[in-house]
Amino acid sequence: MLTKSLTERTDLWIDGRWHPTTGDDCLTVIEPSTERAAGRVPAGTSEDVDRAVAAAAAAFPRWSAAPPKTRVAFLERLLAGLEARADDFTALACLEVGAPVTLARALHVGFGLQTVRSYLQVLADYPLEERLGSSLVVREPIGVVVCITPWNLPLALILQKVVPALAAGCTTVLKPSEVAPLNAFLLADVLADCDLPAGVFNLVSGDGPGVGEALAAHPLVDMVTLTGSTRAGRRVAELAAPTTKRVHLELGGKNANIILSDADLASAVRSSVDQLCVNSGQTCLAWSRMFVQDTQHAQAAALAVEAADSYRVGDPYDPASDLGPLVSEAALNRVRRYIGQGIEEGADLRTGGIDRPADLDRGYYVRPTVFAGVRNDMTLAQEEIFGPVLSIIPYRDTDAAVRMANTSPYGLHGSVWSGSDHEALAVARRLRTGQVDINGAPLNFIAPFGGYRQSGLGRQCGPYGLDEYHELKAIQLAAPDALGDIRGSVRLHGA
């Protein structure tokens, strides 16, 4: 049961306690299933940013020097706290994002819990130093990290950044999405009970221009990590450039799903539509381009329509609902615009479309939509829609499918279906993308997650994600014997 304490927030978490914001404005959370105001949080200011960053910088020496067992103990307390408040996090995902309650519990909360568990696993044998010839190579925490996170999986994607940053010994300032910030405030409540030193974690809510840009440009910040749009990623990189701080970006995707002719077509199409519709299509991992052999195109389209029409779109609090609303009016208008553009460009609309479901007169709802006969150069096939819209693209042969799959400014995720694991793996190796699933293989939380090209910079998850929050220091213990007498006459360091 949601309470006012979960939905009405007046203070920001800075330097180990709740502080009133220095401004007078607030951000209103709109419930996407009802279109009504359902919560409020403070709109932070540049002064709040300065206070939070200063607190993080002051806390860094102590936290970075804490032994690994201290950070492991913190993560164990965090996991216990998240598990204890799982029902509250689930309710907020329904409220803020419109996630159906079953999905909210399994994905929004479950993904977050598994992220914490995965880093506990990684930390068990993560090397902080190693010998390399005559050098000692040391991993050291990078410093103050700003985490800018999106609205689509708010809790899970916050934890995907904050957990490895704190586990590495960094201190953090979190700016959650202004669309869905309430999960972040509940997380701050949980962290307040985890015995972190003051200033190690800080929370400043606000919009991108007012808070996000101030954080990205701040001279005391050592790293900015953002999950968001490619446009937002470019802006963060631009603001970070004058201070050459590290920039870590997880951006958009227009993911290709190649179904080879020897695959179980019915199973592949059904699983692909299911994956596309997760979170109402509002995931960067969505397989929104389905490539099928031209001789199987008609059958695949019929199967996709059957799968899409089986989804029940409705109230996220109803356990029978498969799809909830999109997150906002802006998101709904964007998806409708793309559907309309697809029709104008000549794609074959088979089901779904612009109109809301007939039995829902309120909320930002859209039906699962399937286009057949899509050309790979159409807008539908090139731009990220972020909604449950599938483009089915026929191909002549495998080479053509791979070529079209790689013809995209993005390179985040992909999928290959085949009756032969050997053939599927061969195709997967040819895809220019950071992840590829073969025959619907599940997500591995300790494998690297990230993309090529305009899908971002760097990786998240597992030891590769932990690496992002470290600097490497080489300590030379002895000069190589091969240098001989040169050691006495040539200065090798600082040249």
Active site residue ranges:
250, 284
**392, β-bridge pairs:** 290
Placement of tokens 């995931």 in the chain: 283
Position 495 scores a pLDDT of 34
Q: For residue 6, what pLDDT band results from cuts at 50, 70 and 90?
A: confident
Looking only at the bridges linking them, the beta strands covering 369-372 and 389-395 are parallel
Position 479 scores a pLDDT of 62
Q: Report how far residue 38's alpha carbon sits from residue 29's, in angstroms, rounded to the nearest whole number.
A: 6
Based on its alpha-carbon atoms, the radius of gyration of the chain, rounded to whole angstroms, reads 24
Position 182 scores a pLDDT of 98
Q: Report how far residue 129's alpha carbon sits from residue 355's, in angstroms, rounded to the nearest whole number.
A: 58
Q: Report how far residue 207's alpha carbon sits from residue 26's, in angstroms, rounded to the nearest whole number.
A: 10
The two domains 4-250+461-474 and 256-438 share their CATH topology (first three levels equal): no
Position 491 scores a pLDDT of 38
pLDDT digits (tens, 9 = 90+) for 126-135: 999 999 999 9
Residue 5 has pLDDT above 90, yes or no: no
pLDDT digits (tens, 9 = 90+) for 443-454: 999 999 999 999
pLDDT digits (tens, 9 = 90+) for 276-307: 999 999 999 999 999 999 999 999 999 999 99
Residue 42 has pLDDT above 60, yes or no: yes
Mean pLDDT over residues 254-269, rounded? 97
Residue 403 has pLDDT above 90, yes or no: yes
Residue 484 has pLDDT above 60, yes or no: no
Spell out a b/e string for 218-237, using b for 16 or more CB atoms within 10 Å of the CB, else e.
bebbbbbbbbbebebbebbe
pLDDT digits (tens, 9 = 90+) for 22-34: 998 999 999 999 9
Does the 4-250+461-474 domain belong in CATH 3.40.640.10?
no
Looking only at the bridges linking them, the beta strands covering 369-372 and 348-351 are antiparallel
Query: What is the helix (H) or strand (E) element at residue 427, kind and residue range?
Result: helix 421-430
Residues contacting 23, CB < 8 A, separation 6+: 42, 43, 44, 45, 47, 48
Phi then psi dihedrals of residue 243, to 5 deg: -105, 5
Q: For residue 3, what pLDDT band results from cuts at 50, 70 and 90?
A: confident
Placement of tokens 């999986």 in the chain: 153
Residue 487 has pLDDT above 50, yes or no: no
Residue 38 has pLDDT above 80, yes or no: yes
**39, β-bridge pairs:** 29
Looking only at the bridges linking them, the beta strands covering 135-141 and 129-132 are antiparallel
What is the fold of 256-438?
Aldehyde Dehydrogenase; Chain A, domain 2 (3.40.309)
- Which tokens hold the place of 474? 């080489």
**DSSP code at position 455:** G
Give me the percent of the chain exceeding a pLDDT of 70: 96
**14, β-bridge pairs:** 17
pLDDT digits (tens, 9 = 90+) for 355-383: 989 889 999 999 999 999 999 999 999 99
- Whole-number average pLDDT of the chain: 94
User: Which sign does the torsion angle of CA 158, 446, 113, 142 carry?
Assistant: negative
Position 481 scores a pLDDT of 54
Residue 438 has pLDDT above 70, yes or no: yes
pLDDT digits (tens, 9 = 90+) for 83-109: 999 999 999 999 999 999 999 999 999
Domain ranges of the chain: 4-250+461-474, 256-438
Q: For residue 485, what pLDDT band results from cuts at 50, 70 and 90?
A: very low
Position 92 scores a pLDDT of 97
pLDDT digits (tens, 9 = 90+) for 8-26: 999 999 999 999 999 989 9
Give me the percent of the chain exceeding a pLDDT of 90: 94
3-state DSSP of 215-242: HHHCCCCCEEEEECCHHHHHHHHHHHHH
Query: Do the beta carbons of residue 428 and residue 417 sit within 8 Å?
Result: no
Residue 439 has pLDDT above 90, yes or no: yes
Residues contacting 271, CB < 8 A, separation 6+: 440
